[in-house]
Chains A and B, each alone.
Chain A
Amino acid sequence: GQNIDQPTEMTATEGAIVQINCTYQTSGFNGLFWYQQHAGEAPTFLSYNVLDGLEEKGRFSSFLSRSKGYSYLLLKELQMKDSASYLCAVEDTGGFKTIFGAGTRLFVKA
């Protein structure tokens, strides 16, 4: 079956670092994505991992271990505007279909 698990909510302090974990079990795998979704808005693309290891993009980094079915999103130097939902998503083989996790709501407090 298809299953993506991530924590429901997390709270962190402005300026700190937070790690959002994601585990997945899917029938196919063509890449793992992280999307950011602010309340009332559409999801927007953050990162993409297809090979094992760490991808860094500014304050955001994403890690993938395909053998463990595990990924994390690392957010550094947190800002208030980072308060949002973060969606872990796995693209099926062939790139046709992406399954989304339920999302992790991150609250950044002053």
Chain B
Amino acid sequence: DAGVIQSPRHEVTEMGQEVTLRCKPISGHNSLFWYRQTMMRGLELLIYFNNNVPIDDSGMPEDRFSAKMPNASFSTLKIQPSEPRDSAVYFCASSHNRGNQGSYGYTFGSGTRLTVV
């Protein structure tokens, strides 16, 4: 199992440009999560999907952020237009959700370090 795969590992872009982050979850996992991590705010949940359906996007900072999960093996997080304050490490994680019994924890991807200049 290759684990959760994220791309790119690093992204440097200019303010105003569109940024697309990609994630391939572990095969068989039915939940996918996008987190953002900064020194000041720690790990923040942006959005999560269950069976490819967005469940809660209340953590998405503003309309500049959008996420999709067109199938069970792929998700994207898009920022348009990007701003310097979006600079952070963005993690994708997946899990097997057992409904009321919860999950056994998350497997995180290696993250995308985004720098907006």
User: Which residues does A use to contact B, with CB under 8 Å?
Assistant: 30-31, 33, 35, 41-45, 48, 50, 87, 91, 93-103
Contact = CB atoms under 8 A, between A and B. Distances in A.
Contacts of B95: 95
A101 B108 CA distance: 16
Interface string B37-79: 0000011010010100001100000000000000000000000
A33 to B, nearest CB: 5
Contact of B48 (A31, A48, A97): A97
B110 A91 contact: no
Given A42-B109, A44-B108, A96 B43 contact: no
Contacts, number: 63
A44 B111 CA distance: 12
B85 interface: no
A50 B102 contact: yes
Nearest to B50: A96
A107 B102 CA distance: 32
Nearest to A29: B102
B107 A96 contact: no
Contact of B99 (A31, A94, A99, A102): A94
Interface in B79-106: 91, 95, 97-106
B48 to A, nearest CB: 6
A42 B56 contact: no
Interface of B: 31, 33, 35, 42-43, 45, 48, 50, 55-56, 91, 95, 97-111
A91 B103 CA distance: 8
Nearest to A47: B105
Contact of B102 (A30, A42, A43, A44): A30
Given A43-B91, A95-B95, A100-B43, 17 more contacts: A30-B100, A30-B101, A42-B91, A42-B108, A42-B109, A42-B110, A44-B108, A95-B97, A95-B100, A95-B101, A95-B102, A96-B31, A96-B56, A97-B48, A99-B45, A100-B35, A103-B42
Nearest to B91: A42
Contact of B43 (A33, A43, A97): A43
